[in-house]
Structure 1
Amino acid sequence: MESTEISQIKTLLKSQFEKDLFDASLENLKEKNNKIRFNNFAYSIRELSRHFLHNLSPDEEVQKCVWYKNETEIAGQISRGERIKYAIQGGLTDKFVDEEIIEIETIIQRKKEIKDCVEILNKYTHINPKTFDVSQVNIDRYTEQILSAFKKFAETIENTHNIIIDELYEKIQDEFIQHSLYEIADSVDILATHHNLEEISPTKYHISKIESKTMKIETDGVVYVRLQWGSNSDLRKDIGAEMHTSFPFNCNINVEINKTLEDATVEIEDFLIDTSDWYE
């Protein structure tokens, strides 16, 4: 039983546990003599959706978000809606998303679609006369509904999160350049008596995570420097030397979001310049 939909769902799962649970869920359907095999399948897929969402929304991070309200009114508990919100936008407030990224109504509609999918997943988990000893014809029909609902559930979370990521890229690039242009690692210092940083050219950005208070960005690029051996006086006397060269760099930065992107605080976690080719 390896349909296209099953294969697509497997690509959406994040951890080995989720993949193993999905495979085990499908195995329930093969137990022809078990009158609750479909219920076991439905329950397992519902639990898979729960683990999938929990994996994207760690308790400690959700509870740190400024928008967290404890909707359940139970100490330490997080509602499904709050988990969905974190999985999509991390600690970004609705106001921030609406004013800086995309109309919040678009996100709200996506969240509703996700919750509707969960309702479908819940539909067949309870055992009663109508859902006991389901016929093979109905098993096939209901299984398709459940798999479609889970696939839409996972895809909608991922796609909506990516909408926010994609909208942030252009805005974050300027912030990164502004705050990190004159950051340079000690690895350049050992190459020459003096050096000047001429330009930093980021070539690749990856927003790896939006957490409760920060965004984590991984960046690759090229740093252009002027290296000088000897003093300026040595250069004038033609006993010094200088050259212009470039090195690749990798940088991890944390962007602490405030009310607007312009107010963001950028912290350079590390700025590593690869000078290995210099010694070859």
Structure 2
Amino acid sequence: MGLEDSLPDKFSRNLLAGCLMVAKDQKNPVRLHLAAAGLRELFGHILNADSPDDEVRACAWFKQEPNTNTVTRRQKAIYSTQGGLSDAFVERLGLDVEDFHRVAIRSIEALNKATHVRPDTLVNDEVAINSFVDEALEALEGLLQSFSEGRSAVKEALVDDVYRAMSNALIEQTFDEINILAGKGYEIDPWIDDAEIEVEALRSQVILVRFSGVANVTLHYGPKHDAAEIHHDFPFWLRFEAPVEKPTELTLVAHHFDDTSWYI
């Protein structure tokens, strides 16, 4: 997956494309500085998009940095990587992304500096411009990688708990989308096809995990002496929530069974 594919939205992709167009325009004597301004905004958009100040401050690990009343870029990067999960839990995951964050913040500082154009700071050397842009893009890619690695590490740590929560939910819950189709009830086979787990969000107080797959369902009809069964597969997803202080305690908060194929 390339850098463009890792960006969170169309705005980010358009901003990156515009920055690169400016940086490659050899007729523009201030192309480095204009590209730097755009790349700085791209870093800022990515850090701010998924890390509201109030959410970052609500994390148990948050401590106000000396000499500032704001949430720092580093703290926003930490939040986007681990949400409100404790440092101790993150350490148990073996997740080490501090270098990614350090490089990204250093790159933002360099971009800030490059946006100030003065006669003695103007850069128009092709090699220097390409090197500067390449380093900024590598730092951005590393920052995005840290976010991805955070969610992947949480997913791997919780995979057994998610399967267990899924199995319990399918056994204990009644799902209206299926129940309405069954005359005398239904059973869901514990074997789930094409199962996929996704950590949808790491927030200050909770994490959201989504389990999706295809459920093999047996629907029952008719009286005991003349019972009938119909087997049908239903694509579905279940969303679970867990408190950050007890991430293995997953509670079902939403679900959907796709019954479209039943009516075809």
TM-score tier by shorter-chain length is 0.7 to 0.9
Residue number in structure 2 paired with 1:140: 130
Q: How far off its partner does 1:218 sit?
A: 4.1
- Name the CA distance, whole Å, in 2 between partners of 1:171 and 1:107: 25
Asked if 1:209 corresponds to 2:238, the answer is no
In the TM superposition, residue 88 of structure 1 has moved relative to its aligned partner by 0.9
**% identity of equivalent residues:** 21
Give the Cα–Cα distance (whole angstroms) in 2 for the partners of residues 261 and 159 of structure 1. 17
What 5-or-longer segments of structure 1 have no aligned partner?
Answer: 1-6
Q: CA deviation at 1:37?
A: 2.6
Letter in 2 for 1:268: V
Return the letter of the residue paired with 2:168.
Q
TM-score calculated relative to the size of structure 2: 0.79
Mapped partners of 1:198, 1:20: distance in 2: 45
Counterparts of 1:201-280 in structure 2 under 5 Å? Answer: 201-203=191-193, 204-207=195-198, 208-212=200-204, 213-225=206-218, 227-230=220-223, 235=224, 238=225, 240-243=226-229, 245-262=231-248, 264-272=249-257, 274=259, 276-277=261-262
> TM-score, normalising length from structure 1?
0.76
Amino acid at match of 1:210: L
1:85 pairs with 78, 82, 107, which one? 78
Larger C-alpha radius of gyration, 1 or 2? 1
Calculate the aligned-residue CA RMSD, in Å.
3.2
Shift in Å at residue 72 of structure 1?
6.8
What is the match of residue 94 of structure 2?
A: 103
Supply the AA of the counterpart residue of 1:13: L
**Match for residue 189 of structure 1?**
179
Deviation of 1:92 after TM superposition, in Å, equals: 1.7
Deviation at 1:250, TM superposition (A): 1.1
Q: Which amino acid aligns with 2:251?
A: V
Q: What one-letter code is carried by the residue in structure 2 that aligns with 1:195?
A: G
Count of residues in correspondence between the two structures? 261
Q: Gapped runs of 5+ residues in structure 2?
A: none
Write the distance in 1 (CA, Å) between the matches of 2:146 and 2:203: 19
Separation in 2, partners of 1:144, 1:108: 21
1:117 Cα offset (Å): 4.1
Q: Is the contact made by 1:54 and 1:83 (CA closer than 8 Å) also made in structure 2?
A: yes
Secondary structure at the residue paired with 1:52? helix
